[in-house]
Amino acid sequence: MSSNIEAFIQILLLFLLLPSSICQLSLEALTPNRPIKDGDVLVSSTQIFALGFFSRRNPQHRYVGVWHNKVPGQTIVWVANRDNPVNDSYGVLSINGDGGLVIHGKDRSTPLWSANVTLSSPPNFTAKLLDTGNLVLIENGSQRVVWEGFDYPSDTVLPFMKIGLNRRSGLERRLTSWKSKDDPGTGSCTCGIDPMGFPQLFLWKGREALWRGGPWIGEKWSGRPEITDNGVYNASFVNNEDEIYFMYDVPTLITRGVLDESGIFQMFVWNDRWIKFYSYPTEWCDHYRQCGPNTNCDPDKQLACTCLPGFESKSPRLSVGGGGCIRKAGASTCQNGEGFMKVARVKIPDSSMAHMSMSMSLKECKQKCLMDCSCTAFTNTSADEQGGGVGCVIWHGDLMDTRTFSNAGQDLYVRVDSTSLAQYAKSGGSLSKKARLAISLGSAVIVFFLLLTLYWLVRMKMKGKRRQNKYSFKLTGGSTYFEEAIGGLALDDSRINSELLLFHLNTLATATNNFSIENKLGEGGFGSVYKGILYDGKEIAVKRLSKFSGQGIEEFKNEILLIAKLQHRNLVKILGCCVEDEEKILIYEYLPNKSLDSFIFNETRRALLSWTRRFVIIFGIARGLLYLHEDSRLRIIHRDLKASNVLLDNSLNPKIADFGMARIFRGEQTEANTNRVVGTYGYMSPEYAMEGLFSIKSDVYSFGVLLLEIITGKKNAGSHKGYPYSNLIGHVWELWKEGRVMEIIDSSIGESYLVSEIIRCIQIALLCVQELATDRPTMLAVVSMLGNDAALPSPRQPAFLLKRMSPSRDPSSNKGASSVNDVTCTIVEAR
């Protein structure tokens, strides 16, 4: 008997000493007599979601939240007391005497959080967690839901959660970001629906709009036309006198949408890990009002911002995000022969102040707008762009935040004066019936001849394939040959462009006249570049790596894999490679104007670059870098941006080249370290040159140096006689402090520029070359600053201020020693 009692006592002691996490109690419901204590969890019926207390950065701060119960890592999707954490381990979630949910700490007298309800009868409630993740308070008997957590979202939207407004109660359901990744407190970013005018989806930071999703146009948002109700992704939008809301569902998949603390919304799907499948804002044109009023932002154009039809820029260059565009001088659009010009595939303008009618056709909409002299544009309310769509939206005043999509969007009809309308018709914007008939007859004739020649075309195609194999073949059947050619290094087939060609060495030798000196375009530490002409007349640039090149087999493979996947107008296009014998050769598109340095550092050719052209080059380089850092599939650090690695096409548009030293950052990686510092003296950031530490801010520093060189026509590391500093950065900095920065501008530019604009570019450059990487802006910020008239921060002292030694100073003396920033850094050019 005594042995049984002893055993019982041991078991009891063991139970009392077990950790609370092992002893946690799982509940299916919360009742007035059964609260949730810290350590207990409330689970949904199929255990998809769980609710309980959790901590983040500070273990003493305890929050009540809901998380995915079957997903590792406790992914929090809803938080109750986000701004009032429990500061002890005695937290309790309970139903109080008034029937509402409350959270208490050790002090039971004052609740830290409450979900009050309005009662018409004595309270008799139960709280449950649904399989949707929604915490609900249910009236027993009637099973009426009197309160639900989905009415008060935190930073996450889940399937079946409404985002919008209850017009009767005034309850507004918006996502609100956390303060940081480790602090669930209420952040400054929100996402919701603006019910004014033609209701729209917005993302705000404080009161400032960051991104506009546009209005709901039937199965999708105007600003997100690629995300549509397609049977897999089910979306619904309700707009009536009682409420307006958006809700989604993706059956059979675990999904969540998260608004982070920086103001970016990301949608994730679970597949052994959380995978992001879209986010916004992503493109430069996504950001609200990037180009100012009466403009259209087109990311596929060199200068993304253009004026809408009938409008002109306030300044010689369109002021992105500033004054925008105004109606053309002298244009009359009131009962004077005016009409409308179609702007295709756009996110329609900000419709907060627009007027809409669901009962009108597009034809009726046009007539109503035409009769109203203050009407500036119209479209329909749905995505039907065939002319028979129902609904009408009419704008008065300025048209804000319009952007073009490549293969989606609506047609917008903008009011223009009779002169613009005539010019549009003359250029082919509209066709008469006779012209359309002539085109139809011509098309029939063309089809007839195509049928007659179809057999010949097939024969020629087969001959062309055989002919192509004489000089190259495509990487379509795997990479075995490629791996063997470069020494058996493993290569992931999925990372190689299927159109990349492997050229035979004899083909390239023939194309370049056996790599003759007459065909040489340039030479560097990596080897030489030659112009080549293939048998079919196609011009190519052939980069032949030297056997003693600083670019080894790793860099060679790196450049192929990177450039083959990168698709951007401001990045050079690679056509193929050659790996025969000991040769390592890359083949690029041929750019006849060679590199940027052959212009800006050439006394004669620099005069060909006006300030307008230089700004286009600057802006293009910035957009290319932004693509590498933010918009490509992987974050890519170039590490060797300089004037000679920027090529110019026929129209002098820039293309960033030479990715041999580039590095890929994966996931959330933001910086890396290397023992092998590569790059070019004068363009390397201090943290990279001295510590081997590189990041996107290293490229920003190089861009700043390049920007100063483009403006001044001088090399940063060149000879600057008569200046107190031996490098360009130091000289510009000195003039900047003295207010004499205009003295350094390249005289060959002439006077056809805005002084404020060129000074702004110099200030941006100085911001980019600041000594501390944390002080430098990102390329997204740089692109915005280049076209924005908003005030800029004052730059701090740049890195590498190389002061000349006074002739009277004794080199052996330590007197008058400079600061760390004045020390000359001797870095050998690695290429």
395 and 445 co-located in one domain? no
For residue 389 the two structure tokens come to 């769509």
Same domain flag for 364 and 484: no
**197 part of a folded domain:** no
Total domain count for the chain? 5
If asked whether residues 639 and 728 sit together in one domain, one would say: yes
Examine the domain organization and report whether 639 and 780 are in the same domain: yes
Among candidate residues 129, 152, 175, the one where a domain is terminated: 152
In a domain, 382, yes or no: yes
Q: Are residues 536 and 629 in the same domain?
A: no
Predicted pLDDT of residue 452: 62
Asked if residue 615 is part of any domain, the answer here is yes
Residue 630, pLDDT score:
83
Query: What per-residue confidence (pLDDT) applies to 676?
Result: 55
Question: Annotated catalytic, 640?
Answer: yes
Alpha helix (H) residue ranges in 113-244: none
Does 347 carry a binding-site annotation? no
Whether residues 482 and 445 share a domain: the answer is no
Domain shared by 557 and 493, yes or no = yes
* Residue 542 included in any domain: yes
Contacts of 701 (CB under 8 A, 6+ apart): 683, 684, 685, 686, 768, 769, 773, 776, 799
Helix or strand (DSSP H, E) at 507: helix 505-511
- The domain that holds 105 is classified in CATH as 2.90.10.10
Q: Which of 286, 398, 640, 699 is catalytic?
A: 640
Q: Give tens-digit pLDDT for 183-228.
A: 999 999 999 999 999 999 999 999 999 999 999 998 889 998 877 7
Please answer whether residues 260 and 155 qualify as being in contact, where contact means their C-beta atoms are separated by less than 8 angstroms: yes
Q: In this structure, are residues 257 and 269 in contact, taking their beta carbons and an 8 Å threshold? A: no
Write the Ramachandran bin of 391: left for phi over 0, alpha for psi from -120 to 50, otherwise beta. left
Q: Does 164 fall in a domain?
A: no
Burial code (b: 16+ CB inside 10 Å, e: under 16) for 371-409 equals eeeebbbbbbbbbebeeebbbbbbbeebbbbbbbbeebb
411 & 506 share domain? no
761 and 617 in a common domain: yes
CATH code (residue 632): 1.10.510.10
Q: For residue 295, what pLDDT is reported? A: 94
Return the pLDDT at 578: 86
Residue 232 CA to residue 803 CA, distance in Å, equals: 64
Indicate the pTM of the whole model.
0.59
DSSP assignment string, 766-815 = HHHTBSSGGGSPPHHHHHHHHT--S--PPP-PBS---BPPPTTS-TT--T
Task: Name the domain boundary from 152, 174, 204.
Answer: 152
Residue 394: beta bridge partners?
355, 378
Residue 211 placed within a domain: no
- Residue 618: per-residue pLDDT: 95
In a domain, 99, yes or no: yes
Residue 405 inside a domain? The answer is yes
Residue 279 structure tokens? 């986010």
How far apart, in whole angstroms, are the C-alpha atoms of residue 822 and residue 269?
A: 52
- What stretches in the chain show pLDDT beneath 50? 9, 11-23, 318-321, 385-388, 430-435, 439, 463-498, 804-831
Residue 775: other Cβ atoms inside 10 A: 15
Name residue 239's beta-bridge partners: 244
Q: Which of 152, 179, 199 is the last residue of a domain?
A: 152
Are 646 and 710 found together in one domain?
A: yes
Same domain, 566 and 686: no
**Residues 86 and 105 both lie in one domain:** yes
Residue that is written with structure tokens 């790793």 in the block: 554
- Two structure tokens written together for 525: 């530490």
Range(s) of the domain holding residue 62: 23-152
